[in-house]
Structure 1
């Protein structure tokens, strides 16, 4: 292994390293948006229940979010290049096997493996970038990475729609295989091996309790449409999740080198960055899954048309993140991010007014406004994330940030799906279907949320397609109002914690956290 203290890569090699990491990053949003477009086709092919179909997206997000902290630690301990290559290879292999999945269970398990591998590649790749670039160059590099995510979000639905229409839903997994193998080849040639000299080992108890707690909570929320919030099963799962999470906190306060340094939460800017990381989940990410289901399953658009419509939501990601970085010359990152979230909330409120039968241009403009608003914080989050810890702990920094972001997205998707199912069921109870058995109503509501309109019509006697489409639209409108309120609250929190935080050249001002040389004092206090 080369010594990073005496050897550095040439400018061309650094660009190729950035290309490799961006390609690995590109596979993540494509793997998220592509299967979302394919859900109706997957449901027809594999005959999945609503709960099993939910896991197509949630298994990936859960695997990704629960393993990011471990992946960051592994990158610091075993080497960023080695972990990056293992992650990209694992992602490619799991994607290839997913093309042969013959059951919902097999597909869900493979989606979880994809999430773990993607987390490994992205966390190690981001840590490698932090070693190659300094100051303003690092800010630009992470802005490019954020823009790459935007490209995946923007074109993923379009490409997925075209692939599904011409080659079937399994072709979506072949597309990410090609992207990831390219990242593997470029990274193997150009990334130099670096490690954290202070890394001491893996925090296995912390990793196990964190993953277990997150899994229990996600499963509890996914059971809500079938079992309700007050059922013994859901309450038991939530209680178990709380207990395991408390054990995780206890473990992290006692180990010498924790997976998650809880002392960081004493610093306002660190807390603000975590709020900023979670904010897009409710303002944007959940719509990447719910809107394709609505367009294809409820309103009858083709997968190609739905993919093209989703471009209005994600297209701003191609430009606005770079504009956000440019605006930091005059405004702080917190102000730009908070203003973007307020703009996003306006788009959500506008979208709530768009009903079926109105000109499609109204809906597309509302979606575009949401995309513009969320793109401003999206372009600043990654650069802020690596500025909250010393350079040597870059793997932990990206792990914490991306865990908050992706775990928040998985939880948000589960909660919002359960909330939409509750709204649909409430609307059903307020109509002529009130006399129908409660279990049938709950199942019908779950089917509507998953876009299975035909089954819902069959389950409800005397129901017409037009009635259920109108009812679903009313429930979706109510959901958008709730999301807009959450987005406004997120903007307020970001203004409060980050309004004075600029996007700094990381070496030019004192970070908000203690440097590594002073962390021994914190460690002694903990011990």
Structure 2
């Protein structure tokens, strides 16, 4: 029989779980909704291709840069306090974006929104770990992961629906409403907690890490317009390398580093970091690129594009739970490897559908990619803790979350540069531009799915030619993403399925969970 006291205590904590899960829904919702809203924002406010790309990249960059710092701050001043501040600011910035009429202002507010999201996620996750214990804690974090899946699955459709009936501003105002709902519960029901042994924030490491990620992303985003050999791009990437060297040197010397470099001596820890990076290249970038294809190139409206995107994201509601069941018979490492291989096959299949310019033929491979990614997605949060000694679990979780979010931002910048490069090759081969400046502007527009503006830059061409160039470029990109995913699968298999680590680390990755 169940203990009535325990049951009542768990029921009393249900509002806490609801508040944190509501906050977890709006983070991916804000990310995917921004990509759906970008084309219509472009039509209303104008702006360069680079400025429009920052609508998504600014959010992801600041989110990833400040996640570890937010976690340290939550331990220092209070987890509830950081969560409340994060959600409150997220609601505020969402509202400001919803009433904005300036693209530059939207970009700045999206960056600020990312900082607020980092505080909300760090404070919420840490609070959840304090509120629940044992199996209840596992169920709570499972619900947290499911909430992320809900945001990803329904974000594109919800954004398309809101834009079609109320305009793009409703996308951000709806995020504000959900954030306020979360806040109304958390203020009264969430308990405050701190780490009594908190050592403070590693400010030198935080500043160097943030600057390094910012310069890297900025440099990658400049490639489509400036080229890989430009002084500006080389300078930014060179400065990134210098900051990386300084960061490693500082982290080795400070007493309480934000990043414990010794964790990287565990092969499985490295393998786990490969999981969010591989999902970024195989799945997350498609949440941005495919809406551009559907809306800007194919000519669908936002609602139709949102419906199409559900083929990719709906499996994320079901497959993560199925992945947990699979671990009763198959090791977690093997399940993750299998998922990445399935995703790579889906990416290759999708490349053929894109090449044929048959968007409805893309639905089946999109679903296959979602199914494949759903397998590691449901396991990698738990794996991030299990692959290191227990006393380092907190640091490992922080590193994993940062790798996931920052990796997604960097992957978007890399993939954007690759797509622009392939588009540029197509335009150059057909000699469609009269000079390099015109070609650069046309490449930037077409690579971001703005077929209309690309045609204005190249009046001697037609829509069919540019559509064919884009389809060929996207096909090549998808094949590269498939190759990256297969390489990631090999790394994950080698690191997580081969017994090559110290015995103090959990061996459950190599064996089914009996």
Question: TM-score when scaled to structure 2?
Answer: 0.93
**CA distance 1:259–1:8, shift in 2 (3 Å):** farther
Name the residue aligned to 1:339: 338
Shift in Å, 1:139:
3.0
Which 5+ residue runs of structure 1 have no aligned equivalent?
1-6, 502-508, 514-527
Q: Residues 355 and 475 of structure 2 are in contact (CA less than 8 Å); yes or no, is this contact kept in structure 1?
A: no
Shift in Å, 1:391:
6.8
Name the residue aligned to 2:510: none
Q: Residues 267 and 512 of structure 1 are in contact (CA less than 8 Å); yes or no, is this contact kept in structure 2?
A: no
- 3-state SS in 2 of match to 1:319: helix
Matches within 5 A, 1:346-365: 346-355=345-354, 360-365=359-364
Within the alignment, does 1:445 sit opposite 2:443 as a pair?
yes
Within the alignment, does 1:157 sit opposite 2:153 as a pair?
no
Larger RCO, structures 1/2 (Cα 8 Å, 6+ apart): 1
Aligned length: 499
Name the residue aligned to 2:189: 190
- 3-state SS in 2 of match to 1:353: helix
Name the residue aligned to 1:491: 489
Q: Residues 357 and 471 of structure 2 are in contact (CA less than 8 Å); yes or no, is this contact kept in structure 1?
A: no
**282-291 or 123-132, which moves further after superposition?**
123-132
Q: Residues 269 and 512 of structure 1 are in contact (CA less than 8 Å); yes or no, is this contact kept in structure 2?
A: no
Shift in Å, 1:142:
2.1
Name the residue aligned to 1:522: none
In 1, the alpha carbon distance for the partners of 2:332 and 2:135 equals 14
CA RMSD of aligned residues (A): 2.0
- 3-state SS in 2 of match to 1:462: coil
Matches within 5 A, 1:109-258: 109-258=108-257
Name the residue aligned to 1:89: 88
Q: Residues 162 and 304 of structure 1 are in contact (CA less than 8 Å); yes or no, is this contact kept in structure 2?
A: yes
Matches within 5 A, 1:9-28: 10-28=9-27
Counterpart among 454, 460, 463 of residue 462 in structure 1: 460
Q: Residues 281 and 409 of structure 1 are in contact (CA less than 8 Å); yes or no, is this contact kept in structure 2?
A: yes
**CA distance 1:114–1:66, shift in 2 (3 Å):** same
In 2, the alpha carbon distance for the partners of 1:9 and 1:172 equals 38
**CA distance 1:8–1:387, shift in 2 (3 Å):** farther
Name the residue aligned to 1:428: 427
Name the residue aligned to 1:482: 480
Shift in Å, 1:327:
1.4
**CA distance 1:9–1:31, shift in 2 (3 Å):** farther
Shift in Å, 1:15:
2.7
Name the residue aligned to 1:525: none
Shift in Å, 1:393:
6.4
Name the residue aligned to 2:511: none
Shift in Å, 1:79:
1.6
In 2, the alpha carbon distance for the partners of 1:188 and 1:388 equals 35
**CA distance 1:457–1:414, shift in 2 (3 Å):** same
Name the residue aligned to 2:382: 383
Q: Residues 130 and 394 of structure 1 are in contact (CA less than 8 Å); yes or no, is this contact kept in structure 2?
A: no
In 2, the alpha carbon distance for the partners of 1:123 and 1:233 equals 34
Q: Residues 66 and 211 of structure 1 are in contact (CA less than 8 Å); yes or no, is this contact kept in structure 2?
A: yes
Q: Residues 292 and 306 of structure 1 are in contact (CA less than 8 Å); yes or no, is this contact kept in structure 2?
A: yes
**CA distance 1:355–1:386, shift in 2 (3 Å):** closer
In 1, the alpha carbon distance for the partners of 2:168 and 2:24 equals 22
Name the residue aligned to 1:415: 414
Shift in Å, 1:459:
1.3
In 2, the alpha carbon distance for the partners of 1:154 and 1:217 equals 29
Q: Residues 269 and 388 of structure 2 are in contact (CA less than 8 Å); yes or no, is this contact kept in structure 1?
A: no
Shift in Å, 1:443:
1.3
In 2, the alpha carbon distance for the partners of 1:389 and 1:119 equals 24
**197-206 or 407-416, which moves further after superposition?**
197-206
Within the alignment, does 1:373 sit opposite 2:372 as a pair?
yes
Q: Residues 274 and 401 of structure 1 are in contact (CA less than 8 Å); yes or no, is this contact kept in structure 2?
A: yes
C-alpha distance after superposition, 1:119-168 (max 9, x if no partner): 11111211222223344433332222222111111111111001111111
In 2, the alpha carbon distance for the partners of 1:189 and 1:161 equals 34
Name the residue aligned to 2:512: none
Shift in Å, 1:511:
4.3
Shift in Å, 1:9:
8.9
In 2, the alpha carbon distance for the partners of 1:135 and 1:485 equals 40
In 2, the alpha carbon distance for the partners of 1:59 and 1:8 equals 43
Name the residue aligned to 1:76: 75
Matches within 5 A, 1:277-356: 277-355=276-354
Shift in Å, 1:436:
2.4
Shift in Å, 1:275:
1.1
**CA distance 1:510–1:393, shift in 2 (3 Å):** closer
In 2, the alpha carbon distance for the partners of 1:94 and 1:512 equals 42
**411-420 or 446-455, which moves further after superposition?**
446-455
In 2, the alpha carbon distance for the partners of 1:389 and 1:9 equals 34
**CA distance 1:481–1:21, shift in 2 (3 Å):** same
Name the residue aligned to 1:55: 54
**CA distance 1:14–1:381, shift in 2 (3 Å):** farther
Q: Residues 127 and 395 of structure 1 are in contact (CA less than 8 Å); yes or no, is this contact kept in structure 2?
A: no
In 2, the alpha carbon distance for the partners of 1:52 and 1:312 equals 29
Question: TM-score when scaled to structure 1?
Answer: 0.91
Q: Residues 57 and 412 of structure 2 are in contact (CA less than 8 Å); yes or no, is this contact kept in structure 1?
A: yes
In 1, the alpha carbon distance for the partners of 2:359 and 2:94 equals 35
Q: Residues 59 and 111 of structure 1 are in contact (CA less than 8 Å); yes or no, is this contact kept in structure 2?
A: yes
**CA distance 1:448–1:500, shift in 2 (3 Å):** same
In 2, the alpha carbon distance for the partners of 1:97 and 1:196 equals 34
